[in-house]
Chain A
Amino acid sequence: MTTAELMDYAEVVTRFDPVLGLEVHVELSTATKMFCGCSNQFGGEPNTNVCPTCLGLPGSLPVVNAVAIESAIRIGLALNCEIAEWCRFARKNYFYPDMPKNFQTSQYDEPIAFNGWLDVTLDDGTVVRVEIERAHMEEDTGKSLHVGGATGRIHGAEHSLLDYNRAGVPLIEIVTKTIEGTGERAPEVARAYVSTLRDLLKALDVSDVRMDQGSLRCDANVSLMERGATEFGTRTETKNVNSLRSVERAVRYEMTRQAALLADGGSILQETRHFEEASGTTRAGRRKETSEDYRYFPEPDLVPIAPSREWVEQLRGTLPEMPAERRKRIQAEWALTDLELRDLINAGAIDLVAATADAGAPPAEARSWWVSYLSQQANNQGVELGELAITPAQVARVIALVADGALTNKLARDVVDGVLAGEGEPDTVVETRGLKVVSDDSALFAAVDEALAAQPDVAGKIREGKHAAAGAIVGAVMKATKGQADAKRVRELILQRCGA
């Protein structure tokens, strides 16, 4: 599709009301898979974390992972859902090579959690309440790797490889009710919802929530209705949305694409579309000639789940401080203005700063690092702040090294660059890059003497008492020591040498 087939966004929102529906899949970070004892570890050699059950071998049977149920209930509670007193798994039947049984064991019309909400704060502080339809449990499929084609897609591939390590990984699917009335802010609401949900799941410690690794995946349903219309338009479902930024872009793109079609008298095809990260566009998935009939029926190999109210209340007691409350507390503790707090939140930095402070750094320093230098690096890399390859503990260590005088601020940035480049822990980077402040006076004297000898006229002025002239020598020494010297000390040594 060319851009000529898109409507200008400003026009879109004057003519149409967008309606969103967001489906988020979360891979739980349980030790084992949903229905067997295999390790639930991301990565690993293909087909090593498998057993008869997750390979769907004849005669194998599933047994529900109790920790996964616990996580599902905690997620449901954190999303203000009701928890089912009795629910079941169902089989979703369809054929696909990376699905070992050719059915997915999933909850269908009896989810474990339903009817909840999540308050989402937008960049300007506006709070939008997103209603949650349901959160249900299911198992992930394996992965297909299509080999030989130019695109990595199935079309044109010479053959496909199947990796079942992911087959049977526990998933929670969180489905919103339709989100209406957000107007031009729909893309921002979508991003903020996923972002808020991610923070919540992280606080619950139930998932790695890594969008880049697929442990948090968002499908965005988007439709438009003409301003004043009462019936929803036809929706599309966009998959392959692998970052927060992509969520926003995908929704925005679909709005402009659908609006152009509708304005032209066309109609929207109810279909699955794929987000293309590089171009920021969506493309239609493979068309199916008939609509899929999944022939759901209750999974006869599993017994119903009936969480007792006592257990549910006990789990409610294990919920951590929710991110929203935590922010209020942190704002008070760090004495932040509303604007400062919002900047922190918008930079996606608040939890990182808090974690850095928890690791021993003064909150103000931690905030400064994350909001300025590290935010710039994230921008340069085109990733979220939290996706940078540095941990709050590492940032705290760098801050400590500066406080100790072992690093200057400039050196500290070099150390951070080294950590980001995968060179290891801060101390390792200091070692391997040789970034320690040169505090050995004899080494500095040599550099000072050399610089004085190179600029005899300047040296003369200093000896005459013109201390300001020392700046030129300091500069030369700093250059010669590649910035590893403490400038203040260098100045002292120069004056000492010149007997001034």
Chain B
Amino acid sequence: MTELTRLTAADIAAKVAAKEVSAVEVTQAHLDRIAAVDHAVHAFLHVDTERALAAAKAVDDDVAAGRPAASPLAGVPLALKDVLTMQGAPTTCGSKILENWQPPYDATVTRRLLEAGVVILGKTNMDEFAMGSSTENSAYGPTRNPWDLDRIPGGSGGGSSAALAAFEAPLAIGTDTGGSIRQPGAVTGTVGVKPTYGTVSRFGLVAFSSSLDQAGPCARTVLDAALLHEVIAGHDPLDSTSIDAPVPPVVAAVREGATGDLKGVRVGVVTEFAGDGYETGVAAAFTAAVEQLRELGAEIIEVSCPSFDLALPAYYLIAPSEASSNLARFDAMRYGLRVGDDGTRSAEEVMSLTRAAGFGAEVKRRIMLGTYALSAGYYDAYYGSAQKVRTLIMRDFDAAFAKVDVLVSPTTPTTAFKIGERTADPMAMYRADLCTIPSNLAGNAALSVPCGLSDGLPVGLQIMSPALQDHRGYRVAAAYELARDAAQGGPLINRVPELEVVH
């Protein structure tokens, strides 16, 4: 592993701009690293060497010509979750039903990255259609956690977080419907941010649950996440749910947090997210993190959000309901897999055979759940009630944010579990998102920042902020990150075990 793959995104961009290193060298270093370790990690589903090098070359040309950098991240490599479209590359969503599908258009996030001079290395593995918490639901095989290859890297964005922890990329994009950015971030010792719903365009993000899905930045440092956040966020007329408001000043907030002073900041500890089901090591790391925030000057206040206990069941009605409709389009008629079209079967039969063969078990389970929840006679009891719970959760947040600036909790109740450990028990799998789901239901901002190790495995601290106040969480996270590194002898990510390298 060369030093280049150990650099932060901010450092890479600075060195490229200063001509200390070329973007092509940086990109090549990461491509080499992918070639060396991805056989073990399997973070990527698709790597486009030529295109990445060409993009890097374009940045180098800009630098050589003295043109201003396209963005503060020009020349930095990035791993893109395979749920966002990019022309010229397949978008599979981890599903057989979209194997080899080549989208004819770029997602707005993709376009913004390309325009910013970010070098997209390839597409990362994920639970099929972003449904899962372990990346075991990928039709293309699981991704492994670089901290322990027998363990899951979280999900659904396990490929993106594993790529960061394996130093295959300094930046990644994830999408978070119920925790798919934050939980993988927590269990891989990386930073994952779910921005306020509506602040990052969903155009080109293959929908799982439209009212919950939100793309966001993944990185190894809070500053890198903030820099990436400002590249991808912003109003998009192509997404009707996009908010026409200035991007929250997250980079400035990180710089403010880096002063190490959190005096006057009120931090609420959600009392519901503790007790049975939370691993001792996770609880201990969380408690220590809260103590550290107190030492930084923050005022710690216990806050009760009683409706949060209903978040998980409400989520598992709303998300599958929307998914059952969103995934109806995969019917073999226009693109993707087609099964059974032998000239004797009707279109309906081909649709049915294709969907039976093309979707995995978890996707089918959720389509059935959602179809049931929306059915005549059940709608009010299920979908309707879940929407009411959603309102209650928003009210809990409103009441809490009247008293505190941010809320904190463990990101997920346990550290990375073993591959195969929960595949037979969907409820156990679903509980991984217990603490992350409320922010999706409320549409506000939340992030996960590493807060220590438990038995050698990373633990995440979740920081939740009101809608459009994303910068509050960044400020607290940046201050905490600095104090944590000082207290724990350098960045946690440096303690990832060395991976076996193939030459």
Residues of A within 8 A of B (CB): 52, 55-64, 91, 93, 95, 97, 100-103, 160, 162, 293, 295-297, 300-303
When C-beta atoms are compared, the residue in chain B nearest to A62 turns out to be B240
Task: Say whether B374 contacts A61, CB under 8 Å.
Answer: no
Task: Say whether A301 contacts B103, CB under 8 Å.
Answer: no
Bound state CA distance, A64 and B239, in angstroms?
Answer: 10
Bound state CA distance, A70 and B289, in angstroms?
Answer: 55
**Interface residue total, chain B, C-beta cutoff 8 A:** 44
Task: Say whether B206 contacts A95, CB under 8 Å.
Answer: no
Task: Say whether A59 contacts B204, CB under 8 Å.
Answer: yes
Task: Say whether A57 contacts B331, CB under 8 Å.
Answer: no
A-B contacts, 25 listed (Cβ < 8 Å): A56-B334, A58-B85, A58-B93, A58-B101, A58-B207, A59-B203, A60-B105, A61-B238, A63-B238, A63-B239, A91-B325, A95-B328, A95-B331, A97-B331, A97-B347, A97-B351, A102-B329, A295-B325, A295-B371, A295-B375, A296-B374, A300-B209, A300-B210, A301-B240, A302-B240
Chain B residues with Cβ under 8 A from A52's Cβ?
A: 103-105
Contact of B329 among A100, A293, A303 (CB under 8 A): A100
Task: Say whether A303 contacts B241, CB under 8 Å.
Answer: yes
Task: Say whether B210 contacts A57, CB under 8 Å.
Answer: no
B380 to chain A, nearest CB (A): 11
When C-beta atoms are compared, the residue in chain A nearest to B95 turns out to be A58
Bound state CA distance, A58 and B330, in angstroms?
Answer: 9
Chain A residues with Cβ under 8 A from B347's Cβ?
A: 97, 160
B232-252 CB contact bits vs A (8 Å, 1 = yes)?
000001111100000000000
Task: Say whether B375 contacts A162, CB under 8 Å.
Answer: no
Chain B residues with Cβ under 8 A from A296's Cβ?
A: 374, 379
Bound state CA distance, A348 and B160, in angstroms?
Answer: 67
Task: Say whether B328 contacts A59, CB under 8 Å.
Answer: no
Task: Say whether B325 contacts A93, CB under 8 Å.
Answer: yes
Residue of A61, A63, A93 with most partner-chain B CB within 10 A: A61
A121 to chain B, nearest CB (A): 41
Bound state CA distance, A300 and B441, in angstroms?
Answer: 13
Q: Which 7 interchain pairs have the tightest Cβ spacing?
A: A102-B328, A295-B374, A300-B210, A300-B211, A58-B206, A59-B204, A59-B206
Chain A residues with Cβ under 8 A from B371's Cβ?
A: 295
Cβ-based interface call for B321 (8 A): yes
Bound state CA distance, A301 and B239, in angstroms?
Answer: 8
Bound state CA distance, A248 and B376, in angstroms?
Answer: 35
Bound state CA distance, A100 and B328, in angstroms?
Answer: 9
Task: Say whether B241 contacts A297, CB under 8 Å.
Answer: no
Bound state CA distance, A297 and B374, in angstroms?
Answer: 7
Chain A residues with Cβ under 8 A from B93's Cβ?
A: 58
| Seed contacts A59-B206, A295-B325; 10 additional CB < 8 Å A-B pairs | A52-B104, A57-B335, A58-B93, A60-B203, A63-B239, A93-B328, A101-B328, A103-B325, A295-B374, A297-B383
Chain A residues with Cβ under 8 A from B331's Cβ?
A: 95, 97, 102
Chain A residues with Cβ under 8 A from B404's Cβ?
A: none
Chain A residues with Cβ under 8 A from B107's Cβ?
A: 59
Task: Say whether A59 contacts B85, CB under 8 Å.
Answer: yes
Chain B residues with Cβ under 8 A from A58's Cβ?
A: 85, 91, 93, 98, 101, 103, 206-207, 329-330
Chain A residues with Cβ under 8 A from B239's Cβ?
A: 61, 63
Residue of A56, A62, A64, A301 with most partner-chain B CB within 10 A: A301
Task: Say whether A59 contacts B84, CB under 8 Å.
Answer: yes
Contact of A297 among B84, B101, B205, B321 (CB under 8 A): B321
Cβ-based interface call for B348 (8 A): yes
A363 to chain B, nearest CB (A): 49
Residue of A58, A296, A297 with most partner-chain B CB within 10 A: A58
Chain B residues with Cβ under 8 A from A63's Cβ?
A: 237-240
Contact of B205 among A57, A59, A103, A295 (CB under 8 A): A59
Chain A residues with Cβ under 8 A from B85's Cβ?
A: 58-59
Cβ-based interface call for B322 (8 A): yes
Contact residues of B between 363 and 379, Cβ < 8 Å to A: 371, 374-376, 379
* Known A95-B331, A97-B347; contact A59-B91, beta-carbon cutoff 8 A: yes
A96 to chain B, nearest CB (A): 9
Chain A residues with Cβ under 8 A from B428's Cβ?
A: none
A32 to chain B, nearest CB (A): 14
Task: Say whether B328 contacts A97, CB under 8 Å.
Answer: no
Bound state CA distance, A59 and B329, in angstroms?
Answer: 11
Chain B residues with Cβ under 8 A from A57's Cβ?
A: 103-105, 334-335
Bound state CA distance, A379 and B277, in angstroms?
Answer: 81
Task: Say whether A303 contacts B240, CB under 8 Å.
Answer: yes
Bound state CA distance, A58 and B98, in angstroms?
Answer: 9
A296 to chain B, nearest CB (A): 8
Bound state CA distance, A57 and B207, in angstroms?
Answer: 11
Chain B residues with Cβ under 8 A from A103's Cβ?
A: 325, 328
* Known A95-B351, A302-B240; contact A59-B333, beta-carbon cutoff 8 A: no
Task: Say whether A297 contacts B348, CB under 8 Å.
Answer: no
Chain A residues with Cβ under 8 A from B334's Cβ?
A: 55-57, 100, 162
B92-131 CB contact bits vs A (8 Å, 1 = yes)?
0100001001011101000000000000000000000000
When C-beta atoms are compared, the residue in chain B nearest to A35 turns out to be B240
Cβ-based interface call for B151 (8 A): no
Bound state CA distance, A60 and B204, in angstroms?
Answer: 6
A310 to chain B, nearest CB (A): 20
Chain B residues with Cβ under 8 A from A93's Cβ?
A: 324-325, 328, 374
Bound state CA distance, A297 and B321, in angstroms?
Answer: 9
Bound state CA distance, A162 and B379, in angstroms?
Answer: 33
Chain A residues with Cβ under 8 A from B202's Cβ?
A: 61
When C-beta atoms are compared, the residue in chain B nearest to A295 turns out to be B374
B163 to chain A, nearest CB (A): 21
